[in-house]
Structure 1
Amino acid sequence: MKKVMLVEDEEFILQGIRCIIDWEEISMTVVSMAHNGREALEMFSREPADIVVTDVEMPLMNGLELLEEIRKINPRTRCIILSGYDEFEYARTALKLDVEEYILKPVNEEQLKQALIHAAEHFDEIAREKAGSMEDKIGWHRFLKGKLDKNEAETFLRMLPEIGPEESVTAAMMKIDADSLEARDGMQDVLIGLQKLPRKLKTIYLSPDTLFLLLYEEREGILQGSQEASETFRAFQNHLESSFGIMSFITIGPPIRAYQELPPSYKIISRLQKYRLLEGYGSCITESYIKERKNQDVAIDENLLRKMILKKDKEGALNYIEDLFINNLKSEVDVDVLYQLALKMAILLQDIKVEYKLEQSRNLQALTEMVEKIYQADDIFGLKTIFISEITEIILYLHTEDSQYTPVVKQIMEEVRKNYKEDMNLKTLAYKYHMNASYLGQIFQKEVGCSFTQYLSNTKNKIAKDLILNTNMKINDIAKEVGYPDTSYFYRKFKQCYGVSPASLRNMKKY
């Protein structure tokens, strides 16, 4: 939801603007309303908005002066001007301030609505361009890895603050949880919070959800500087979580005295990012934190798991996975042990698919796909979900391959495949096929291995999973596409089926 601020000195006009727009329909919410520019600026400083709709002529500070000040705080904020005066000077100044639209009063509802939609699109476009610039992507990666020649490196060194003679620099990498970031409509809260830190800081975009941070500290001792930096990052991480619900995982390198030391520090904090699998979001770690990790093997009973899958014991197999990943893997285990375990299991599932000729099935993953997802997983719960999803699909295919369904059950399954979007229930189908609903439910449960309601839900969720992984449709639209008018209900049902939210599943794939 985009955040909107309304500024108008006449109360009845202010309330009118608030009421004529269906804000929810255009994915926006009004976070503040002010009666003059000075009041608006104070509100904006406390809670910045993505879009500001303001009158021009107001007491204390007019709309154009307000927009000049807002541009200093956040250049990305989009602005719409309302005015009762069709004057060229106003329009020319508005043009200089990169105003989205200059709307004359009385305000036309449709014109304002379209201006708001356009402003939101422009806001997102600026974010995409910024995330895609050389400074934010490939160039910085190569610079931090020490792979640029001297002339190329100079370009990036000029973007960095000078390190003072008594300063040390601590590098950190902040990975933001996609789910919590999506709920806040981007990184704005993160960036504004970083700007307010009482320390000298340089922020570098590495990707839309990853920041590289350089914290500059005036400290006599390297060790003391390192501890101060860790405390600063942990405090900021806690602030993001408590104030905005934004979850992050931060890895911190050793302090350095010169930028020539950046590549080894970058290598350390990049390697530490693997520990997000075990530690999860909300953690902030250094190299010393993981030095005592154990490299022992975690046993997997491949014969037992294989037997449960082939017996189509879904509950037993999924409970085994749950116990293996959540209860047996302790935080002190080295992360490479976890990857070895996951790869062993992926190979086991691949062997079953080859043996039973399931490798060509549309909803099952090739070994290469599984391995890619294993290394993309954000945490141990995401990793567990990969295997829960695949085992569920394998058992479903094994059921389909060797089951002989009665004609009425086949008809019902076909009906679900064709009409899964509709509000279907067993009672209606029993009436259609002239059967007792209770008896039909028993037959369906016995032959298919689950209740009709669960089968319908599984079908919807399978189709939703395909759309999440293979299209760029919005999650809300996918929910409607598969027959869930209530998106929150879709989230609950999908998570029950696959153990992860739709947004988290989408985050596992590479665009």
Structure 2
Amino acid sequence: MKLILVDDEKGIVDGIKIIINRYIPECEIVGVAYNGLEGGNLIQELQPDIVITDIRMPQVSGLDMIKWLKDKGSQTKFILLSGYADFEYARRGMQLGVQSYINKPVEEEELQSCVQQAMKAIRADRAKRQEVDDLKQEVRHLIQENALRDILDVGSDNTELMEELLEMAQIPTKGNGFAGFVLEFDSKLDALKEVSLQQVFCQVDLALEQYDGVYRFRYTGAQVAVVVTQGGPIRYAELLRSVQRLKEEVNLKLELSVTIGVGTIQERAAGISQSFEEARYALSYKVVKGANTVISFTDIINLSGRIQAVPEERIAKLEAALENMDEKECAGIIHDIFQLMEAEPSMTPADLQMQCVNILLASIRKMSFQQLQQNDFLGRHILSLDGISRFRTLECLEEWMIQVIRRIIEFKLEHNIPKKKDIIAEIKEYVSAHYNEPITLADLSARFFISPYYLSQFFKQKTGETYVSFLSRIRIGKAKELLERTDLKVYEICQRVGYSDTQHFARLFEKLTGCKPSEYRKRLPSS
């Protein structure tokens, strides 16, 4: 700890120096002064932890110096020295928060005891401040995580709500660049332990420390979401290098296999959800790129543009046959698709492999990868190109594809997945029954075995609104019922319908109804 001595007697200063250097090695004497004016300026400049000062000195007394420093917000602990056994000095010193009062001549044991007490008090103060700072940091991270979760699920069409959520989370938006990416860990790590998760967060922070803002949190089971912000343009090539370095550090230091999908750079806050959707889409291509790789959305766009995709109507028929568990129909559709590919004169072996992967991706896009990995055959063969690359003829490859489809049907039957289920209707019914719980898009995707990216797009396509908008509408509708039928306070209703932030609830209520919750209740007709 840093210590300063202030006394107009040089002999006293030299003697205290000897005692401290000899018996209190934890303290470092960083400066000395011989009057109160000089001492005050030195203390203001060096900000020591402890000051030992005489009371009566030329120009400015020790008590006046302490008062001047306290008025300026000094947190230093003071120990008073005096050759006058005067209670009045001690009383004034205690009023100023002086730690101890020692009469001259200074005794070694008494000085050691006073300095040790001061150091103990300093450590206790630091521990309390650290505890408060840690709590504030934890609350801030929780607010940011909740806001970013809402942003990632809300879709890119609600700019106003995104801006509001970012402002609430104290995440700068003006003049910033944004990018999102997703880390997905090996299937054996379905639930990362908290210790491992904190270690992952540490590696993320280190790899991306050059950026102004790095926000990371567990997105779902074995996935971690990351949003990067920068007060200016973000160079995509540099970001990809940083993410690649992150992957390598996680491999090396944590001995974990991780695949990372990276979205594009966005110049507006509304683009955060778009970048994150792109990252999730890129991540789905680990079936092509392989696990433990970094996959950028731009690479996938370039990859997809080189060959003609299988016609969408064929994929739709295959999906319908899969929903009906119709193995014969699936085999017929696969045969038709292979006939189309055989008729393509420019089809190369690499193009053929890629077409097969696209067919499989389309076939399983309503199922989560976590679910696919539960099946040994699907996990080994769909999630790599090894199975495809073994075959050298279209006939053998066609038979292998039919076998994979057969295993998908077997898997659906084993897990009692019903035929032709209206998944969106089921999701709406589930949300309507559990609206007061913290239901994220990731939670729903895991519950209904649908990839988050597909669910987000499919929900908007089928209902005309985003999932978050639907959930908000259900919750606010329930809040209106409670305002009409009960005497519950607004904050109690806020909690009853699934919100933890009363101010956010009130703003959302006003946005959807045109008035605040309290005003809505006042407008109700009296019975």
The interval holding the TM-score normalised by the smaller chain is 0.3 to 0.5
Question: Please, what TM-score do these two structures have when normalized by structure 2?
Answer: 0.34
Question: Please, what TM-score do these two structures have when normalized by structure 1?
Answer: 0.35
The structure with the largest alpha-carbon Rg is 2
